[in-house]
Amino acid sequence: MIIYLTTTPETAMKKLIVLFFITLGFFIPGYCLAATHDIHIDWSYDSQLAEGKTLAGYHLYKEGIETCTSTTPVATSMDCVFNSEDGTFQFTLTAFYADGSESPHSSPYTFILTSPPEPALLADFITTPSILSGNIPFTVSFNAASSTGDISSYIWNYGDSNTDSGSQVTHTYNTIGTYSAVLTVTDSQGNTSQKTVTINATSPQSSSNTRDIHIEWQYEFQPDGGRTLAGYYLYKEGEKICTSDSPSDTAMDCVFESEEGTFNFTLTAFCTDGYESPHSAPYTFTLGTSSDPNLTASFATDPISLTGETPFTIAFDATSSTGTISTYNWSFGDNSTDTGSQISHTFTSPGIFQATLTVTSTTGATSQHSVTVTATAPPEPPVAIISPATFSGDAPLTVSFDGSSSTNAAAYSWFFGDGATANVSQTNHTFATPGTYTTALTVTNDQGQTHSANVTITVNETTGSNTPPTAVISSSTAMGDAPLNISFNGTGSHDEEGPISSYLWNFGDGSQTSSTATTSHTYTTAGTFNASLTVTDSHGTTNTASTPVIITGQSQTNQDPTARMTASAVSGTPPLEVFFDGSTSSDPENSPLTFNWNFGDGAVAQGAAVSHVYTNPGSFTATLTVADDAGATSSSSMTINTEDTPDFQLELGEIEIDHNWKRVNFSNTFVHPIVVAGPPTKNDDNPCVVRMRNITSSGFDIHIQEWNYLDGSHTNETVAYLVLEKGSFTLEDGTMVEAGEFSSNSNELQTIQFNSAFTTEPVLVTSITSSNGEDAVASRPQNISKTAFEHQIQKQESLNTQSSETGSYIAWEPSESNIDNINIIVNKTADRVRNRWYTVRYGKQLPEPPIFFGTMQSLNGIDTSAIRYTNKTNREVKIMVEEEQSADQETMHTSESVGYFLFSADTTVPPAPSVTYFINFQPSDVPVPEG
């Protein structure tokens, strides 16, 4: 619908046309009566203005009350956010001028504003800590912000005769017992909803593992931005163990439970709103030994042998352990655990695993016992494959059978169905009597596993006379020194009634036969051999010709085969699946090869191509050993490195770049950096993309590249870059992040799997990180799910080819978080971003304009395009879809969804405290509580 709002004032614009007016969405803070609505309006006007006046912008009115203003004279659209009750209202638009005058109102546009229904009343809350069991005094914080509905009151009953009110409360249980904590929420209509949890307040036990440390520090910082310092937290190896609730404290005595060992302790400051400073420099201290001489971990296994094929199930019995044991904890080395004195565990993947039992006494002392379990991959079963030269013919019928295509076969057994047998891979058999015969081949591998296949051979009564075929042999030579390769040709063979049905060569030296019309064979030993060719016609009638071959000289020693192997990956994070291929291995005598793999972690396999999963970190030597039919072997090895998931390390920045390549050096050190960059600003109107190359552990090259139909020279643009270590990560707030890479050699869609499945659909930022070809390309993902996404590298529309390129991606679940004093917002727009400026509002005012990253999440429009941005503030940024115009001048683009990352420094978080003194009291200094 197009609605024209026209005015013709003498001192105003000549014509104002509202093109499109739509409600974009709304949100209702607190479900109050006046909701916040978001509308979008488009207009056009001719530039014939009143004489002597300068256009300054536009006002949007709702029922005559100014609602929103655009101060951009060249604007033709506006997004307006305002508070309003529901109802039907008239909106008008005016233009205003630099001298303060204003045009008459446009014709009104009537629109209905509506709010969503209120959600149902539901009591809900989260607790800190999440595990609701602890020693008295046990303090629990309750947060009911996740409750929904028109809530007028929150009432808490802690189950110990104490009550409270409010959406966020804290309670301390000082008496041992089990309590039911109940939240009751009530709405304005008197309706109620409840949620209950069980709290276990337990007795603190005094043991030889009780520690007492004293720490002193200095801290003079007072946070700004309205924050108030509340106290300090003490951490042991990242785990909070003690709290000081007084901001004026400079010392703390901390009593806690800990095993013996050397640990790092750190201190942080925290504010009343929950913000926490970075950790202080760590202080390393050794805690004394706690032991129980009567405590011994021990167990038996069934089976006794701890080597077996997967799935390998072992029963563990720890009843032989001694001491006053309170818990049995098992770790199997494959990321699985269990508890109890008698358990069973199945190892499902090949590998070498350390199964460990830890028993804990009632005094907190521990003892361990471990065994090594070797789980091997089951052998690949053989598969029998029969290839007969013919399936039917007149008696007597000679059939050539070929079983050499069978896989993993070490032995062959033929049963022809007429009582005859054979035990070679290729053989001939003559069926003398008419009838139907089932010929079976059974193959056996080195482990004794078997597989059978069969075919049906039909032998007919002889009808009429049949002239046997004629076998004719020609050869490249008949004499020579060993080793001697001779080419044999049987194409001169013929049959009067039709073509030759099959050929069978026997070289007379005990080697495998051949069943093609032409073949070659290498004689490796001296002697006189009779090479023969048997041909069979369509009736099964055969004829044989032979030729002598004289091999002189010394017998040729068998030559060793050559092992060759490739791997799909040589490094990664466990579990790392690697596909190995040894099919390019060879033997000089063309002997069949057997393939045996040792993956370096205790697992083995057989076959030309195999796969293996490395489940533990380390450096492993994978070895392929091939053997020929004479027993000669050859081996080839390569190193597979698996590393634990790296620490989450983030580096980002903004730079000014033009069409010239610029080197950016990292401030941090990365092992396998994943870099994304862009989009660029729009200082230069020529369509362009951001390109990178030469990414190393220390930095990367970057520049602006215009599409090929342009001159290539480009004004400076501002571009942001983000660097993460390759891998999958879960942040402290539970948000999942993954940084990875991909490659593509065409502009077709390809599916890229995430290494780990996400909890919610992530937002994706992608970049092209190579410059193999000279042509500009754009990175376009779509169909992003929890497990994968589709990607296309878009070339310029006027070009037909493109080079293979490498790309990178960072997938981040939608969230708002703070990491190392950086505010992070990850979100995406609806399908509303087109080839005109669209305003992305952050939903909050950030301390400063953020570093901005954006990538289209959809591929609704097929024309080659990329994102540009402008007017970035601490509240919003404007973005648009920009098409290249090599094929046409049309730039209209279908609406797309854009995912974005925002990074903004938090200037209000306090710095880390400075620890000045630290002392440890040994366990013997801790008195045992009375009572």
Q: Are 777 and 802 in contact (CB under 8 A)?
A: yes
Looking at residues 225-234, what average pLDDT do you find? Answer: 81
> Hey, CA dihedral for 244, 250, 255, 259, is it positive or negative?
positive
3-state SS, residue 885: coil
Residues 6+ apart with CB under 8 A from 616: 333, 351, 574, 601, 642
Whether the ω angle into residue 575 lies within 30 degrees of 0, i.e. cis, is yes
User: CA–CA separation, 100 vs 54, rounded Å?
Assistant: 10
Best CA proximity match to 428, nearest among 501, 496, 498: 501
pLDDT band at 215 (very low <50, low <70, confident <90, very high): confident
The pLDDT of residue 131 is 74
The pLDDT of residue 116 is 64
Selected residue with higher pLDDT from 203 and 33: 203
User: CA–CA separation, 755 vs 727, rounded Å?
Assistant: 8
Q: Are 103 and 16 in contact (CB under 8 A)?
A: yes
Looking at residues 477-494, what average pLDDT do you find? Answer: 90
The answer to whether residue 815 scores a pLDDT higher than 80 is yes
The pLDDT of residue 21 is 41
The pLDDT of residue 810 is 97
DSSP 732: T
Selected residue with higher pLDDT from 135 and 311: 311
pLDDT band at 312 (very low <50, low <70, confident <90, very high): very high
User: CA–CA separation, 730 vs 915, rounded Å?
Assistant: 30
Tokens at residue 787, please?
A: 């497990």
Best CA proximity match to 853, nearest among 875, 884, 824: 824
The answer to whether residue 674 scores a pLDDT higher than 90 is yes
Looking at residues 22-28, what average pLDDT do you find? Answer: 32
Q: Tens digits of per-residue pLDDT, 269-291?
A: 888 877 788 888 787 776 654 45
Q: Average the pLDDT over each of 77-91, 138-152, 192-206, 908-922 and give the range with the smallest value.
A: 908-922
The pLDDT of residue 414 is 93
Bridge partners of residue 610, in order along the sequence:
580
Distances (CA, A) of 402 to 23, 382, 385, 502, 583: 74, 16, 8, 11, 21
Selected residue with higher pLDDT from 923 and 874: 874
User: CA–CA separation, 195 vs 387, rounded Å?
Assistant: 71
pLDDT above 70: percentage of residues in the chain: 88
The pLDDT of residue 17 is 45
The pLDDT of residue 392 is 86
User: CA–CA separation, 543 vs 524, rounded Å?
Assistant: 28
Q: Which domains does the chain have, with CATH numbers?
A: 16-113 (2.60.40.10), 126-202 (2.60.40.10), 210-290+911-918 (2.60.40.10), 300-376 (2.60.40.10), 387-460 (2.60.40.10), 474-552 (2.60.40.10), 566-642 (2.60.40.10), 650-896 (2.60.40.2080)
Surface-to-core class of residue 507, CB atoms within 10 Å of its CB (0-12 exposed, 13-18 middle, 19+ buried): buried
The type of residue at 473 is I
Q: Average the pLDDT over each of 198-212, 356-370, 393-407, 565-579 and give the range with the smallest value.
A: 198-212
pLDDT band at 746 (very low <50, low <70, confident <90, very high): low
DSSP 260: S
Across the chain, what does the average pLDDT equal? 84
The pLDDT of residue 113 is 83
The pLDDT of residue 46 is 58
Q: Tens digits of per-residue pLDDT, 753-782?
A: 898 889 999 999 999 999 888 889 999 999
DSSP 448-515: S-EEEEEEEEEEEPP-S--PPPB---EES-SEEESSEEEEEE-TT-B-TTS---EEEEE-SSSPPPB-
Going through 871-911 in order, the beta strands assigned E by DSSP cover 876-883, 898-905
Looking at residues 88-102, what average pLDDT do you find? Answer: 87
The pLDDT of residue 623 is 95
- HSE at residue 856, side-chain half, CA atoms within 13 A, is 33
Whether the ω angle into residue 137 lies within 30 degrees of 0, i.e. cis, is yes
Looking at residues 311-337, what average pLDDT do you find? Answer: 91
The pLDDT of residue 466 is 75
Neighbours of 239 (CB within 10 A): 10
Helix (H) or strand (E) run with residue 169 in it = strand 168-173
The answer to whether residue 926 scores a pLDDT higher than 50 is no
First to last CA, the chain: 83
Cα angle, residue 830 at apex, residues 824 and 832 outer, rounded to 5°: 120
The answer to whether residue 50 scores a pLDDT higher than 80 is no
The answer to whether residue 924 scores a pLDDT higher than 50 is no
User: CA–CA separation, 533 vs 539, rounded Å?
Assistant: 18
The pLDDT of residue 802 is 67
The pLDDT of residue 10 is 31
Q: Are 185 and 123 in contact (CB under 8 A)?
A: yes
Neighbours of 305 (CB within 10 A): 8
Q: Average the pLDDT over each of 319-323, 621-625, 917-921 and give the range with the smallest value.
A: 917-921
Q: Are 538 and 609 in contact (CB under 8 A)?
A: no
The pLDDT of residue 608 is 92
pLDDT band at 921 (very low <50, low <70, confident <90, very high): very low
User: CA–CA separation, 877 vs 383, rounded Å?
Assistant: 63
The answer to whether residue 191 scores a pLDDT higher than 80 is yes
The answer to whether residue 567 scores a pLDDT higher than 50 is yes
Query: Which residue is it, tokens 């946070």?
Result: 223
Q: Tens digits of per-residue pLDDT, 853-871?
A: 999 999 998 889 999 999 9
The pLDDT of residue 22 is 38
Q: What is the pTM of this model?
A: 0.40
